[in-house]
Each structure stands twice: as C-alpha cells, then as structure tokens.
Amino acid sequence: MSKRLLVAGAGTMGTQIALQAALQGVDVWLVDPSDVAIERSRDEVLRLTARRVEKGRLTGHEQAEVLDRLCYSSQLEEAATTSDWAIEAVVERLEVKREVFSQLDRSLPAHAGIATNSSSIVSSQLAGDTRRPDRCLNMHFFHPVTVMDVCEIVAGPHTSDATIAEAEEWARALARTPVLVRKEIDGFVVNRILGAASREAFFLADHGYADPEVIDLAVRSGLGWPMGPFQLADLSGLDVVLDIRRARFERLHDPLDESSIRLLEQQVSQGRLGRKSGHGFYDY
C-alpha cells in the first residue's frame, strides 16, 4: 500500500501501531503535541528495531529504511493534510478523543477515514464531532501490536460499507488479521471474553480469596493461558487499564469493576504502572 497513515498519539499503542506500519513498508506520521512523548517513542522504536537486528530479523539497512518511513511531528494539522487514513491512539478519555477527531476532520483530505484504537469508547461517541461520520469506526489493535495478530474492526451505525472494507485493507497492509464486529458493543469480542475473566480475578484478589500471583498461576496452569490477568495488566500498563475500568464502571455500574478500580488505584497512586515503570503487581 503506497498511501500514508497518520497515528495520533505517541504513547505505547500509538508507537507500536506506527512501528508495525513502518515494518510493513507503509509511510507513517506519528503525531503527539508532547516533545517528551515523541522522544520516548523514538527511543522505543530504536530499541525494538535494534533488537530485531540483533536477532537477525532485520538487517541494518532494513532498520534504516523502517526508521526513514516513520516521521514524527507535533503538528497534527500539518501531518494530516498529507495522510490518507488516521488512527487515533490517545488516552482513553472521551473529551480528548473528541477533540482529536475534530482536529483530524478539519485537516485530513476528504477521502480519508478516521479510526479510533479505543477498546472502550466507540466511534458513535466521536463521529458526531466530524463532518464525515460515514468514514469513522474503531480499529482495535492489541498490545504489543508488533506481536499480536488480530485487529477488531468495529462498525458503528453511521459507518459505510466502503469504510469497513478500507479499514480491513489497512489492517491487512499492517499484516494484521481483521475481525469484523458488525455492531458496537462494550468490549467488542476479545475484551468481553477476556474482561469477564479479568474482573473475576480482580474480585478474588480484592476480597482476599487468593493473591494476584496465585491467581495468575492458577490461570496459567489450569486454563493454559500464556500469562495471568495480573501479568497482562502489568504488560498493558496499569494506568491504561485503570482508565478503561473507570470508564466502564461509569457506563455500566458493574460492581466487579469496583474491585478492579480499588486494586489498580493502589498501584497507580504509588507510581507502579506495570512493566513500563518497572513495578506493578510484579517487580521487573
């Protein structure tokens, strides 16, 4: 695919989506208003591509080509004018995402679609801030994007069939398998199934039935999962998981989310954000 992708948000997910695109030969803008976030993203991309060189999965020349395809900017409007598709990957806060969608709509070419990577905020909450609701939907990638194959394509009632087809094409261009979710529903497919198990795990820990590491051991040994719910939360980032659980509780008032929020707030308030900070439910 010769078209240019824009990824808004240079955090963990945005960086991974942009890197996956560059690895597949796609030219990509990675945009963030924070210079600190951009520098952190550059360092992470360099680290991840260097590891691939060390393991023989990339040559030095191929690494240089990947780095050349990934362009950084703090100016969303400027980058959007030369892009053909945009994926928003900013924090899981509705007001922030709405503003980004509005900015993208003002600056992107008329043909460009806008996707949110959100796993908890559906595009029908964002499309109204644009003049192209038929070109809006969710493209939910999984962390780490450079490893996890699936991409959930979630259509809203406003999304056109042409936009769905183009989103599936973009997912394949990033070498990810598109899974179409035909109607919006909280958690989509994977996270509804995973989230149900995770909320039960947090409930058990919060009420003292078993410690997090014991629950993880039981899930790995008894269910054959590669990692337990608390290990997965550490990998995803406890601050990110906390935002998602808070947003879900505000929508659904599920008491199981209260256990998750309590345990996550304890960790986050101490700066224990999981793997990215070196400490979470586990120490790394």
Q: Which residues belong to the active site?
A: 119, 140, 152, 191
Cβ atoms of residues 137 and 121 within 8 Å: no
233: closest CA among 280, 279, 189, 200?
Answer: 280
- Residue count of the chain, please give it: 284
Peptide linkage before 255 cis (omega within 30 of 0)? no
Cβ atoms of residues 90 and 9 within 8 Å: yes
Q: How far apart are CA 87 and CA 57, in angstroms?
A: 27
Q: How far apart are CA 118 and CA 105, in angstroms?
A: 18
Which tokens hold the place of 277? Answer: 């900070």
Tally: H helices and E strands in the chain:
11, 8
Neighbouring C-alpha atoms within 13 Å toward the C-beta of 140: 23
Q: How far apart are CA 79 and CA 192, in angstroms?
A: 35
13: closest CA among 21, 24, 2?
Answer: 21
Which tokens hold the place of 6? Answer: 């824009």
Contacts of 283 (CB under 8 A, 6+ apart): none
